[in-house]
Amino acid sequence: MQNREPSAHINGAHRSSPGESAGRRLVVMSNRAPIRIVREDGHERIEPTVGGVGTTFLRLLERHGGLWIAWSGGQKTPPRLPFPPGHPCFAMSFVQLGERDVSLYYYGLCNRALWPLMHSMISNCHFNTSHWRQYVLVNERFAERAVAEADSGDALWIQDFHLALTPAKIRAKRSDLPIGIFWHVPFPPVELYMVFPWRKEMLAGMLGADMVGFHTHGYARHFLDACERVLGAEVDRARCEVRYRGRLTRALPFPLGIPVDYFEQLAANPKTLERAQRIRRALRSEIVVLGVDRLDYTKGILERLLGFERFLDTNPVYHRRVTLVLIAVPSRTKVTDYIMLKRQVDETVGRVIGKFSSAGWVPIRYLYTQFGAEELVAHYVAADIALLTPLRDGMNLVAKEFVASHPSDDAVLILSEFAGAAEELTEALLVNPYDADAVAERLREAIEMEPAKRAARMRTLRHKVHENNLERWSANFLHALAGDFALEAHAASAVGAD
């Protein structure tokens, strides 16, 4: 195999277009595309989807060009789409998924097995052989598309657990491509991972990559442990390396960043500030606490409500002075576990409102909806405190977005100890979400914190978010991927020469 220097594009210094020559592109692969095609009255329009990771990579390719391979989310889509419309700077290549794929691969294996498994919630896992078989077939379809689309020298960056088998399937046909996969969820301790019936196959699929990225050191360590115990692979923990079937793969932490400037600019926009003021006036509350999540059992929404209820029970002085705004984004509405969670959240919100409401004051404003970025940032700006209590979370980008949206350092972040972001954002008020008394105490501490102390904490958090922003995160991963692939290619060439 020919040795080559990492391309300028991989190093983040080149902005290409969809039609540019080979050897310059970044190819991103994910289950879902960062857009949706909306059909109304016989017309079609393209809208970006709202979501931390999808939005993050959309901006990355808009800045630097390349190709995105994904499922569109629908069944009638063009095979390829220049994006953004009118001013394309990259292209999307759509993999078609049918109803059986969506049912068995996505709602089945991904949502009912891998999602709870990765979050260490074994009681929510449902393992089904037909789901696994369809997962294999869909991964093969994605791999075939990548093999057909990728030019020699392109770098492939695969996203998340939906495509865990894809690296090895691509590698079997294309040894010329640097392949990285980033794991956007936690990786569980090996003792929990071992319950997965197809534990060997999934690890072997991931090890087709040159680089496996995780949010934290702990997740990377769990992965290395699994490779050693499940596969019997040779593991070098000091170098974070796995050698399996003659190939070398590195597993390293790359904490995901956000486009900080984007959120700062939105937060400073006069329209956003005006909207934030309207939100506060409508709440009629001196202190606004905000929680934003997908409606998911990993997010600790019920635990947050119980902690807020305990706060109101033990701090009557703050009745009619504090309101919790709970934004729950609809998620996986066809999955039974999520239907049950929605019912529990609705009932708990109703009970707390009925218990404490008085004199025109309602303690919880519950919004079961998905906001656009502008409306979401307006809520960030309106809030004095963010209360984010996931039971397990790969990173939690909402925490970073909230910090970036308060350039005046006038807010407090309360964050679960079990979010990946807690490893970085140590100046937040960290809390065990399972402990309602601790959540209540953290709320009281946040409300009563001296302004100077609040500002100092927030200033440090903003510095950290700036230092590890989207650009730094992506550059670090792609630099490491290009460098590791060059080393592996050189080793392969040396073996071939013998």
What is the CB-side half-sphere exposure of residue 335 using CA atoms within 13 A? 25
**What span, in angstroms and rounded, lies between the C-alpha atoms of 115 and 392?**
11
Q: Residues with catalytic annotation?
A: 184, 393
C-alpha distances in Å from residue 487, one per residue of 3, 180, 209, 325: 9, 14, 14, 51
3-state secondary structure of 307: helix
3-state secondary structure of 249: strand
**What span, in angstroms and rounded, lies between the C-alpha atoms of 283 and 300?**
24
**What span, in angstroms and rounded, lies between the C-alpha atoms of 433 and 427?**
17
User: Which two three-digit tokens encode residue 133?
Assistant: 């078989």
- 342 burial (CB, 10 Å; 0-12 / 13-18 / 19+) is middle
Helix (H), strand (E), coil (C) string for 403-422: HHCCCCCCCEEEEECCEHHH
Residue in the block written with tokens 């399996």: 244
**Could you say which DSSP state residue 83 is in?**
E
**What span, in angstroms and rounded, lies between the C-alpha atoms of 428 and 445?**
12
**What span, in angstroms and rounded, lies between the C-alpha atoms of 367 and 213?**
34
Strands 241-244 and 234-236: antiparallel
**Could you say which DSSP state residue 180 is in?**
E
Look at residues 439, 443, 413, 434 and name the one whose alpha carbon lies nearest to residue 425.
Answer: 413
Q: Contact, 387 vs 290, CB < 8 A?
A: yes
